Amino acid sequence: MTTKKMLVRDLSIFFIILLSTLYVTAISAHNIGDVTLPDKVTLQNTDVELQLNGIGYRTRFVFKIYVGALYTETKVNSRDAVQALAGPKRVAMHIIYDLVAREKMVKAWHEGFEENNSHEQLEKLQARLDTFVNYFPDLKAGDEVLLDYIPATGTRVTINGEEKGVIDGADFYQALLDVWLGDEPADGGLKDAMLGIAE
């Protein structure tokens, strides 16, 4: 085989591999608006692959604030089923609104916890909630927040690739999930979307 034919063959193989890779990437990601999220993730410090359970917009009035996504070990379609999963979980938030002020974010977290927990539960969570909200700066379009539950470790908060800290206790992550999935969710449409009921 001549050098020219070998070069043509090698280039053909390269482009076939490249196109295959692009195709796999395209079918293993989920697009919503300008945000692209993987269909599967493996959290750091775990060997468990999580799959995208559901994804949707958090809206306030007519404005889209962020894209929220829930990742679980197996797909489920109810709040109780999500809470029953003892393994790792992830909530991903991709900010699409121009600016989400820290004060508004902190207020929203407190309201979400207060509306979905009893007074007694809130007392147990309060100190950890105060630590959690202090991790959050002003957020702007393009920012990414990852809220990961790591069994025996706790709730890991990562903002734009920087780990901010870990909050102890499975009960904290359960309460955090109820901000989206509880009886008084922040956004009923997003709750249904994250549960895969609607999109």
42, 48 Cβ separation under 8 angstroms: yes
For 89, half-sphere exposure in the C-beta direction (CA atoms, 13 angstrom radius) is: 26
- Ramachandran area for residue 45 (φ above 0: left; ψ -120 to 50: alpha; else beta): left
Average pLDDT over residues 125-131: 98
> Can you give the pLDDT at residue 3?
52
- Report yes or no: 51 and 85 within 8 Å, Cβ to Cβ: no
For the cut 80, the answer to whether the pLDDT of residue 8 exceeds it is: no
In this prediction, residue 7 has a pLDDT band, given cuts at 50, 70 and 90, of very low
Confidence of residue 1 (pLDDT cuts 50, 70, 90): low
Task: Say whether 199 sits in a helix, a strand or coil.
Answer: coil
pLDDT band at 13 (very low <50, low <70, confident <90, very high): very low
Q: How far apart are the first and last CA of the chain?
A: 55
CA dist., res. 181 & res. 83, Å (int): 9
| Residue 24 confidence (pLDDT) above 80 | no
Q: DSSP for 106-174? A: HHHHHHHHHHTS-HHHHHHHHHHHHHHHTT---EETT-EEEEEEETTTEEEEEETTEEEEEE--HHHHH
Q: How far apart are CA 94 and CA 77, in angstroms?
A: 22
pLDDT at 20 over 60: no
Three-state SS for 33-68 is CCEEEECEEECCCCCCEEEEEEEEEEEECCEEEEEE
Report the range of poorest mean pLDDT among 1-5, 44-48, 71-75. Answer: 1-5
Average pLDDT over residues 182-196: 96
Q: Answer yes or no: pTM beyond 0.75.
A: yes
Mean pLDDT calculated for residue range 38-59: 94
Residue with the two structure tokens 């922040």:
186
| Secondary structure (3-state) at 8 | helix
| Confidence band, pLDDT 50/70/90 cuts, at residue 199 | low
